[in-house]
Amino acid sequence: MTNNKKVLTWLDEMTKMCQPDKIVWIDGSESQLDELRKESVATGEMIELNQEKLPGCYLHRTAENDVARVEGRTFICTSKEEDAGPTNNWMAPKDAYEKLSKLYEGCMKGRTMYVIPFIMGVKGSPFAKVGIELTDSIYVVLNMNIMTRMGKDALEEIGEDGDFTKCLHAKKDVNPEDRYIVQFPEDNTIWSINSAYGGNVLLGKKCFALRIASYLGKQQGWMAEHMLILGLTNPQGEKHYIAAAFPSACGKTNLAMLIPPEALKGYKVETVGDDIAWLKIGEDGRLWAMNPEAGFFGVAPGTSSKTNYNALATTRKNTIFTNVALTDDGEVWWEGMDGDAPAHAIDWLGKEWTPASGTKAAHPNSRFTAPAAQCPCISPDFENKAGVPISAIVFGGRRAKTAPLVYQARDWEHGVFVGATMASETTAAAAGAVGVVRRDPMAMIPFCGYNMGDYFAHWLEMGKKIPNPPKIFHVNWFRLDDNGKFMWPGFGDNLRVLNWIVDRCDGKADAVETEIGYLPKVSDINVDGLDLDEATLKELLSVDKEVWKSELAGMKEFFAKFGDRLPEGIKHQLNLLEENLNK
Ligand code: OXD
Ligand code: MN
């Protein structure tokens, strides 16, 4: 399929190591994909769902011990340990290659190796980057077909001697003791072994589009971020694009697909991306963004026509479900879906299940892989080669008391500090203590492919190079009252906050300056049709200095980890905050 020597030499090396019986090049054609679907159904790797109700949909179950990303077994292998930084696991590249080569040795004997050329981003776009993933899993091939632009086009993009990200995945025996997800940023290489769970094996996603791409972005002057991208059009037809980063379990996919509340019917939200944004400085001096992915790899439980109508609608055809429950009529079910639980189903482990079983039918991290183009609110600019111009960057977290509903950073440097101090409190849904603050700068803790101190420096540098940078904001939909109840309705009503944000970008909305940045006045947030009294909104828009002083101590402790890699701009902002709080 190609004469590119770099591709052929690498493929030869990997083949000698893994020793597959057969090599199949993936051309992206429907006929080839159909053959693979049939084969995977015949072997039981995939279960064909009810094709009348869910055309083109399949179910896959992973091993019980292989249901999530494994941060403890994820490594950044740079020559120098300090280049991986204090927030990443590190191995010397030589040691990692040696250790993993032994695991890969002969691991594809009796199996087929699929060669998947893929593009992250739209073909022919200045944002686009190409990778090739070698894998022994049809599940990976079929998912990569949804999540990336895969096949011949990608090889054309690499051409005779173009570069590409070298991705190797082997399922091996899914042994968690020997599971490794390893990035070699200096070699543009990813090695993953002993997993078959999406986040660990769809190497275009977190491994490439965030870990490797963040490293490339630092070298090449652009950014790879864990951000959704949405377009917001007001009743006058004016359109703004917003990029937003949230730690997991903060409603990122819901925000990307927001449906305006009744009182704000004239507004429209369109989705450009739900998870990853690549950002570049445009010729017009603004920051432009592209979603490098072609599909959504979303969490199923909790998704219903009430919580996220658009996400649910996206999954009604051509979707691969992983670890959800199978109903008796060949449909899927998960906790939090519309309607009652089925009287009987097969659970994510493949066992008989009834509501009386006392266990979850779908795994809490069960997923759908669905083509983004099927989303009812997909943006017409989803495939725009130029990307979209970003007016505002929004950071968020889940905070019971600290962060107000919304505030704006004073300038870019302050905005970088706001992103760098992002944090979320653990909920009862996650293992461990409730209410523990977890620091997660820019929601990139598990995904930054190099020293995070240098990553902050890169953000600060970018700000100096963008003539007309986006404004930066922080939101918190999760403030609790003294009875532990959410004070803000969230979901579609978050649009009320987005409206203040874009009005600030246009210089149309007012604000008051506080210790932590600019906050809206109570009258600046439109609460038409909302059952929210003024006192509650006032509370939502308040800053408790004492709470912030203890927050400051947590920030200092976190930043101390970075030693001399912590840039001056962050230190300066930390001092400024302290001064403001002690005034
Ligand atoms: C994801 C994640 O799967 O952030 O998107 O974990
Ligand atoms: Mn994510």
Q: Hey, whose CA ends up nearest to atom 6 of ligand 1? A: 248
Q: Hey, whose CA ends up nearest to atom 4 of ligand 1? A: 248
φ/ψ of residue 179, rounded to 5: -85, 130
- Inter-residue contact 165 to 129 (CB < 8 Å): yes
How far does residue 425's CA lie from ligand 1's centre (Å)? 17
Would you give the distance in Å from CA 170 to the centre of its chain?
Answer: 23
Ligand 1 contacts CB of residue 270 (under 6 A)? no
Q: Hey, whose CA ends up nearest to atom 5 of ligand 1? A: 275
Ligand 1 contacts CB of residue 275 (under 6 A)? yes
Look at strands 437-439 and 352-353 and give their pairing.
Answer: unpaired
Which residues are marked as active site?
250
Question: Per residue, what are the HEC states of 401-446?
Answer: CCCCCEEECCCHHHHHHHHHCCEEECCCCCCCCCCCEEECHHHCCC
**Whole-angstrom distance, CA of residue 334 vs CA of residue 324:** 6
- Inter-residue contact 131 to 6 (CB < 8 Å): no
- Inter-residue contact 562 to 452 (CB < 8 Å): yes
- pLDDT at residue 115 in the model: 98
Burial 380-396 (b: 16+ CB within 10 A, else e): ebbbeeebbbbbbbbbb
Mean pLDDT, residues 24-38 taken together:
98
Percent of residues, the chain, with pLDDT higher than 70? 99
Ligand 1 contacts CB of residue 248 (under 6 A)? yes
- Residue 435: pLDDT band with limits 50, 70, 90: confident
- Inter-residue contact 140 to 114 (CB < 8 Å): yes
The verdict on pTM exceeding 0.85 is yes
- Ligand found nearest the CA of 68: 1
> In 260-396, where do the E strands start and end?
268-273, 277-281, 287-290, 295-299, 320-322, 325-327, 332-333, 345-346, 352-353, 367-371, 388-396
How far does residue 98's CA lie from ligand 2's centre (Å)? 30
Is 212's pLDDT higher than 60? yes
Percent of residues, the chain, with pLDDT higher than 90? 96
**Residue to probe by mutation, ligand 1, list 147, 203, 206, 299, most atoms within 8 Å of CB:** 206
> In 89-222, where do the E strands start and end?
89-90, 112-120, 129-135, 149-150, 165-170, 180-184, 189-193
How far does residue 200's CA lie from ligand 2's centre (Å)? 12
Q: How far is CA 20 from CA 107, 109, 114, 115, 155, in A?
A: 8, 5, 10, 12, 22
Q: What are the residues whose beta carbons fall under 8 Å from the beta carbon of 461, sequence distance 6 or more?
A: none
How far does residue 413's CA lie from ligand 1's centre (Å)? 27
φ/ψ of residue 353, rounded to 5: -140, 140
Instruction: Express each pLDDT in 519-569 by its tens digit.
Output: 999 999 999 999 999 999 999 999 999 999 999 999 999 999 999 999 999
Structure tokens at 15: 């083949």
Helices (H) and strands (E) in the chain, counts: 16, 31
